[in-house]
Amino acid sequence: MLEEKNYTRLCATKSMLVVNGMFPGPTIRVRKGDTVYVNAINRGPYGVTLHWHGVMQPRNSWSDGPEYITQCAIQPGTNFTYEIDFSTEEGTVWWHAHSDWTRSSVHGAIVVHPSEGTTYPFPEPDGEEVLVLGSWYTGDVNEMVQADLKAGDDLPDSEAYTINGQPGDFCPCSSDSTYRWHVDYGKTYLLRILNADMNAELFMAIAGHNITIVGSDGAYVKPFVTNYIMISPGRTIDALLTANQTPSHYYIVARQYNSGIISYKVFDHTNASAILQYNGNYTAPDKPEFPTTLPSYYAIDATVNFTMQFRSLADEDHAIDVPLNITTRMFITASVNELGEKSYLRMSSSFNNISWVNPPVDVLTAYYRNMSGYYTSDFPDEPPAFFDFTGMLSANTSASDFGTRVKVLNYGEEVEIVFQGTNVINASINHPMHLHGYTFYVVGQGQGNFDGEKDPKTYNLVDPPQLNTISSPKNGWVTLRFKADNPGVWLLHCHLDRHLSWGMNTVLIVKNGPTAETSLREPPANMPSCAIESNIKEAVDDKSLTG
């Protein structure tokens, strides 16, 4: 049930849309391979959609959820039942609203347990804990976003970060409600962490404790030990923590990693906190221990060192299949842009210098019904010009074009995408890239301009991490590969909602394969209708979709 509820944080009360009266929303628990039906009943004041982040939804774009891409909004007073088809995912994924900035309050974890008769690739933990990192806005975030977009202003920063919905001890009017995780000495816990924040990559550390990373984005990784993490919006991380320290209270603290220029100070500097509290009889400290291993806001070396440790498990029980016969290569620049005159500049963002424009009818419906005029199939495989993308760029590189331009792939193609960060308007930062409907292998990444001759020689084709979200590094590049074997319409976008609102996204359409089992399913009967649909003269219904 989606409905508004009053919440008080940072000494102020506001009403916001939540699911089942909970912030964060309820955790969904399933087993690998399950199918789950979720009836989304909208009793809120505006339309909303839900996305099942990291769930590949084989052949079922209809329940993927992004507004204007695979559906129109579920209007107030109506409902829509999503069919969530789990396949190879195992570990932690999540769900969130995918319309406007509603996901700031509408989100939650999905725990995918091993299928019956199987177990974890590590000793069974004694317990588990879910930590949801989020953001708090004291005002109505959607109203603020719409006002800023209309005025051409920068989009709003959060007033605080949260851990399981609470800002914690270091924020005003918050210490009485700080989240506490209770543990027993000597036990090992599976910690499931997700970053549901709107616009910030976050560092997190637990005072006095190391953790062992064992999974990310619904897949296992080779275990490695660390005393902090850096997690991008959209990512999940699974880790083992053994409660082996002197029984006491220990802070869990998260703060922003700011990959922008060091002179830029306008961002949320809050330290969100929770408390790891040992059970038992002991004298509680006056205040919990603070994690000395928590990196500073601009610690790029800490980010790189952590990110580069991820490797797929790649054993007999968890085989991987890295595409080696690439048939489509795409080189995509990610830029923050400006438009307008000096007296009235507005912000935009782009892939290959194209800022996405939402169509009046969702792309999936237009594609399935062969409706013309709502998108074009000419998203380019490379930018319009090549130059020193990471240098000091001239003003004539700052403007982007606008369009609803998609990339069409044949079923079974093996695809390589290189994302190249740019320094347009001196605004190079990390961009967490998320692909709906797929996981991909991150085979390489580096700093500077991608070198098509030298850099592929550094690719890891043996055990690259299998993810659904990866940060394209500030003034650098990242290469991912996947096989286009999930027919349908799939969004590719930056998971910083500031950039998504400005147009840093495109759509991949994967055509049907040769059989019914390799083809997009027919739509459910109760898809939310687009307001404009009744006035559209539809083209002849063409369900073959193989041309």
Structural domain boundaries in the chain: 2-308, 328-518
Structural fold of domain 2-308: Immunoglobulin-like (2.60.40)
d(CA 462, CA 435): 22
Three state DSSP letters for 340-383: EECCEEEEEEEECCEEECCCCCCHHHHHHCCCCCCCECCCCCCC
363 closest CA partner among 407, 330, 401, 400? 407
Half-sphere exposure of 297 (CA within 13 A, CB side): 15
d(CA 497, CA 16): 18
Half-sphere exposure of 172 (CA within 13 A, CB side): 5
Give pLDDT, residue 456: 98
- Exposed, middle or buried by CB within 10 Å (0-12, 13-18, 19+), for 382? middle
d(CA 236, CA 258): 19
**Same topology between domain 2-308 and domain 328-518:** yes
d(CA 227, CA 206): 7
Strand 344-351 and strand 229-231: the pairing is: unpaired
- And the tokens for 230? 């850096």
Q: Which amino acid is at 361?
A: V
CA distances from 453 to 120, 161, 443, 459 (A): 40, 42, 15, 12
Contact 287, 229 (CB under 8 A): no
What is the Cα gyration radius of the chain? 23
- What would the DSSP string read from start to end of 469-501? EEEEPTTEEEEEEEE--S-EEEEEEES-HHHHH
Count CB neighbours of 348 within 10 A.
24
- Rounded to the nearest angstrom, the gap between the alpha carbon of residue 442 and the centroid of all alpha carbons in its chain is 15
Residues contacting 287, CB < 8 A, separation 6+: 169, 249
Count CB neighbours of 277 within 10 A.
16
Below-70 pLDDT ranges, the chain = 261-266, 340-345, 393-398, 532-547
Contact 61, 70 (CB under 8 A): yes
d(CA 25, CA 106): 6
Contact 23, 165 (CB under 8 A): yes
Q: Phi/psi zone of residue 218: left (φ > 0), alpha (ψ -120 to 50 degrees), beta?
A: left
What is the CATH code of the structural domain delimited by 328-518? 2.60.40.420
CA angle 340, 146, 338 (to 5 degrees): 20
Residues contacting 506, CB < 8 A, separation 6+: 351, 354, 356, 379, 405, 406, 407, 492, 493
406 closest CA partner among 501, 520, 506? 506
- And the tokens for 21? 């009266």
Contact 164, 192 (CB under 8 A): no
DSSP code of residue 155: P
The predicted-structure confidence for 401-460, as pLDDT tens digits, reads as follows 999 999 999 999 999 999 999 988 777 789 999 999 999 999 999 999 999 999 999 999
Strand 414-421 and strand 328-341: the pairing is: parallel
- What would the DSSP string read from start to end of 291-343? -TTPPPTT-HHHHHHHHTT--B--STTS------S--EEEEEEEEEEEEEETT
Give pLDDT, residue 444: 98
- Exposed, middle or buried by CB within 10 Å (0-12, 13-18, 19+), for 34? middle
Residues contacting 37, CB < 8 A, separation 6+: 81, 82, 83, 84
Phi then psi for 285, rounded to 5 degrees?
A: -70, 160
Predicted TM-score (pTM) of the model is: 0.94
Q: Which amino acid is at 443?
A: V
Give, rounded to a whole angstrom, the gap between the first and last alpha carbons of the chain. 40
